[in-house]
Amino acid sequence: MKKLFQSSTCSWVFACLFFGTNAEAQHSAPLLADDPILTTGLQLSSAAFVKGQLYSVEEKFHRLLIIDPISMRVVREDPGFSEKIDKEAEIEAIAVYKNNRLLMTDEAHASILEYDITSNKLSPVKVNGIDISSDKGEMGIEGIAIEGDSICYLLKERDDQYRSQIRVFNIKVRNGKTELDYTGTNLLVQHSEQPGTDVEHRWRYSDLYFDGGNLYAMRSLFAEKGKDPCKYIIDAINVGTYRGRQNYLIDDSDLVYWDISPKINHYRNTHSTNLEGLAFRNNKIYTVSDNVKGESDPEYSGYDKTMIIALQKP
């Protein structure tokens, strides 16, 4: 009887260990969207959660997609946005503001916009205290994050010294219109490892997200298939430490939160992995890809699917 009990106990322990580990592996496995619309070349550069759903705007053709984070399917589009946006705009980043509005960066015009998803009203946002009119192209406004509806962080992808710049603004409402007042705080993030000499083979930040006192940044070193491996690192910046500092230099080697390269490169043969948008929710990290195959042809359909993926936080 004792032997039988020991045997049963061992079997039970083994089963718990096996199935527990298996369940944990399933729990931590990435959630990859497999919606038919993602077989086309969507340039998704942005991500933000509004009322529990993931919003993402197509950079140049301006489809505003709404994704269910459980099924990872596109549940609907917002036609009101694409009808109002300037056809030449390039929406690089979005952040939710006051629960029903999106602040977004238009890199083509080096400007900030506000979109009310309830009324479908699109408005310009005035930026005070700093001139951002030259922040276009490879040195454009690539990311945006909001802290508590009162502070806005704008990301300049890189400067002439290949540093990413994060500028801090107070959000103000004057005469019913949203404005950004520059605080003077500007963090200069030096990307210490630069394997290439041309701009396309250098590290950059591609988006920001504020969560729990930290500003998270997507650090990307993207290469086309057949070239050098792609690398993706999420950095964490304790912004309270640097508040009030002007042109303060930080080395990115001190900021590493999570190297997600192995998880993303697993899909490199089937998906575009040019990661840009970044958002957090329910202990998961969501990111989307700017599918370069769709830059000139919005109807492109091929082996490079557009990526929308959720990763369990480490």
Q: Stretch 149-169: mean pLDDT, rounded?
A: 95
Structural element, H or E, at residue 167: strand 163-174
Q: What is the pLDDT of residue 16?
A: 38
Mean pLDDT of the chain: 87
Fold of 32-312: Tachylectin-2; Chain A (2.115.10)
pLDDT for 4 beyond 50? no
The string of pLDDT tens digits covering residues 198-219 is 555 688 999 999 999 999 999 9
d(CA 283, CA 286): 10
Each residue's pLDDT tens digit, 238-256:
988 888 899 999 999 999 9
What percentage of the chain has pLDDT greater than the value 70?
A: 84
Amino acid at 228: D
What's the pLDDT score for residue 298? 57
**66 has pLDDT over 50:** yes
Of the two residues 123 and 161, the one the predictor is more confident about is 123
- pLDDT on residue 304: 83
* CA separation, residue 6 to residues 16, 41, 181 (Å): 15, 58, 70
